C-alpha cells in the first residue's frame, strides 16, 4: 500500500492505513442510517474496533466490503438492542437489510467479546491502542506524550495488538486455557516472532494441546502468509505427497538444481511417512534459510509415542517399513544436517537441512 500519510515508516502503518482507508466508507454507511451524530460516532468506533480485530485475516481487496458489512451489522445490532428496550427508537434508523435473528446473536456475542478483550488489556495499553487505531494519533506524538521513542511505542502497539487478538479468541472459549504454557504460546503465535515461537516449542505444544490448536486456528493463518515457508499438516498417505511437493516447491524456488530438489523431496517423504506410521498425525514445515547461506530446512514433528532408543532408529538396516522406503537413516543420508529428538510419550521432532551448493 502506498497511499495514506506516512507516520513512522514502520510496519504498524499497515494497520493505521487500513483504518484511514475505510474510515470514510464506515462514516458514510453509519451516517446514512443513524441521524444522531454522537450515536453515529460511537458506532463508527465500534465498527473500526471490529475491523481492527479481524484485519489480519482479511484480504487487502476485501477490506472495504468487509468494512461496509461490519458497519451495517453494527448498526443493525444496535437497532435490535434498542428496539428491544424502546420500540419507537427505530424511527431514527433506516435499515435496508434486516439481519437474520441467528446472525444477530452471533454478532452480539462478537461485540461483547471485543469489549471484554479490550477490558482485559491494561488501561495504558488500551488507551494508547485506541488513540492510535481509532483516533488516528501517530506513534511520534504518542511517544512525545509518553517520553518515549516512536519505535518503542510502535513495538508496544504491536504487542498490545497481539494480546488483544489472543484475549479476543479466549473470550470465545467456555473455560480458561488448560496449561500455564498455553497463553504464552498463543501470544507468540499472535505476535508472529519466529524465534519466540521456536524458543517456546509452539509447534509441539499445538500438536499436544487441543485447546490451543483450536483457539490458534485464526492465528496460524497469519503464519502461513509467509512466502518462504510452507506448513503441511500430516495425517495420512495423501499428506506425504503434499509434504513432498511443498519441499520440491521451496527448494526449486530457492534455486536448487533438479537432482538436489529431488533429494530434499525424497527425504521429506521419508520423515512424513514416519509421522503417518508411528504417530498418526503431525506436521512438516519447510522453510528457506539465508544464514549462514541459502538452504532449506525441514522440521517434521509429531506428538506421538516417541522412541525409547532414537539411535536405533537411525542405524542402517533398521527396518521400520518392512522394506518399503528408505526410512529415517535414508533421509539422514540425503540431507546435509539431520537432528532427531524423541522422547517416549512426548513425540518426535526431526530437523534437517540441505544447503544450496555454491557454484
Distance CA 334, CA 327 (A): 11
CB of 266 to Zn ion, least distance (A): 34
Cα 228–Cα 342–Cα 266 angle in degrees, nearest 5: 45
Q: Which is nearer to Zn ion, 170 or 247 (CB)?
A: 170
**Candidates 73-81, 152-160, 205-213, 351-359 — which segment interacts with Zn ion by CB under 5 A?**
205-213
Q: Is position 209 an interface residue for Zn ion (rule: CB under 5 A)?
A: yes
Q: Give the nearest distance from C-beta 89 to Zn ion in angstroms.
A: 44
The answer to whether the CB of 49 falls within 8 A of the CB of 134 is yes
Q: Based on CB atoms, which residue is closest to Zn ion, 12 or 349?
A: 349
Applying CB under 5 A, which part among 85-93, 155-163, 212-220, 339-347 lies near Zn ion? 212-220
Nearer to Zn ion, 74 or 212 (CB): 212
Strand locations in the chain, DSSP E? 229-234, 282-289, 295-302, 337-343, 347-355
Task: Show the DSSP H helices in 209-309 as ranges.
Answer: 210-215, 217-224, 237-254, 258-278
Pick from 116, 213, 125, 152: which is nearest to 8 by CA? 152
Q: How many CA atoms lie within 13 A of 308 on its CB side?
A: 0
Q: Please check whether residue 118 is in contact with residue 164, taking contact to mean a CB–CB distance below 8 angstroms.
A: yes
Minimum CB distance to Zn ion smaller for 145 or for 210: 210
Cell numbers standing for residue 128:
494508547
Binders of Zn ion in range 169-188 (CB under 5 A): 182
| Closer residue to Zn ion, CB minimum distance, 171 or 262 | 171
User: CB of 209: closest distance to Zn ion in angstroms?
Assistant: 3
Q: Which one of residues 22, 76, 129, 212 is an interface residue with Zn ion (CB under 5 A)?
A: 212
Q: Least Å distance between CB 169 and Zn ion?
A: 12
Q: Which of 184, 310 has the CB closer to Zn ion?
A: 184
Q: How far is the CB of 185 from Zn ion (least distance, A)?
A: 6
Q: Least distance from C-beta 170 to Zn ion, angstroms? A: 11
Q: How many residues bind Zn ion (CB under 5 A)?
A: 4
C-alpha distances in Å from residue 44, one per residue of 71, 96, 99, 112, 127:
7, 18, 19, 16, 17
Q: Which residues bind Zn ion (CB under 5 A)?
A: 182, 209, 211-212
Amino acid at each position: 500500500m502506498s497511499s495514506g500519510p506516512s507516520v513512522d515508516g514502520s510496519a504498524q502503518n499497515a494497520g493505521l492505513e487500513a483504518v484511514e482507508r475505510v474510515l470514510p466508507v464506515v462514516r458514510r454507511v453509519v451516517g446514512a442510517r443513524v441521524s444522531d451524530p454522537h450515536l453515529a460516532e460511537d458506532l463508527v468506533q465500534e465498527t473500526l474496533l471490529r475491523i481492527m480485530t479481524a484485519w489480519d485475516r482479511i484480504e487487502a481487496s476485501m477490506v472495504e466490503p468487509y468494512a461496509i458489512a461490519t458497519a451495517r451489522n453494527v448498526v443493525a445490532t444496535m437497532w435490535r438492542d434498542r428496539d428491544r428496550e424502546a420500540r419507537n427508537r427505530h424511527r431514527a434508523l433506516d435499515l435496508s437489510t434486516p439481519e437474520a435473528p441467528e446472525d444477530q446473536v452471533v454478532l452480539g456475542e462478537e461485540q461483547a467479546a471485543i469489549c471484554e478483550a479490550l477490558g482485559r488489556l491494561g488501561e495504558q495499553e488500551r488507551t494508547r491502542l485506541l488513540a492510535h487505531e481509532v483516533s488516528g494519533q501517530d506513534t511520534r506524538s504518542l511517544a512525545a506524550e509518553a517520553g518515549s521513542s516512536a519505535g518503542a511505542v510502535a513495538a508496544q502497539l504491536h504487542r498490545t495488538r497481539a494480546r488483544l487478538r489472543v484475549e479476543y479468541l479466549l473470550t470465545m472459549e467456555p473455560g480458561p486455557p488448560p496449561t500455564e504454557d498455553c497463553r504464552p504460546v498463543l501470544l507468540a503465535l499472535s505476535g508472529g516472532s519466529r524465534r519466540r515461537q521456536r524458543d517456546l516449542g509452539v509447534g509441539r505444544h499445538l500438536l499436544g494441546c487441543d485447546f490451543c490448536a483450536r483457539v490458534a486456528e485464526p492465528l496460524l493463518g497469519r503464519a502461513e502468509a509467509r512466502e518462504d515457508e510452507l506448513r503441511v499438516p500430516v495425517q495420512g498417505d495423501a499428506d506425504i505427497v503434499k509434504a513432498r511437493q511443498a519441499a520440491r516447491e521451496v527448494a526449486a524456488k530457492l534455486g536448487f538444481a533438479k537432482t538436489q530438489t529431488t533429494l530434499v523431496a525424497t527425504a521429506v517423504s521419508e520423515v512424513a511417512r514416519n509421522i503417518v506410521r508411528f504417530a498418526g498425525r503431525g506436521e512438516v514445515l519447510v522453510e528457506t534459510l539465508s544464514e549462514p547461506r541459502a538452504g532449506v530446512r525441514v522440521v517434521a514433528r509429531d506428538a506421538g509415542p516417541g522412541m525409547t532408543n532414537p539411535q536405533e532408529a537411525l542405524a542402517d538396516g533398521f527396518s521400520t517399513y518392512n522394506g518399503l522406503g528408505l526410512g529415517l537413516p535414508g533421509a539422514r543420508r540425503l540431507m546435509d544436517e539431520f537432528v532427531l529428538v524423541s522422547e517416549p510419550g512426548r513425540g518426535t521432532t526431526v530437523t534437517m537441512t540441505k544447503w544450496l551448493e555454491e557454484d
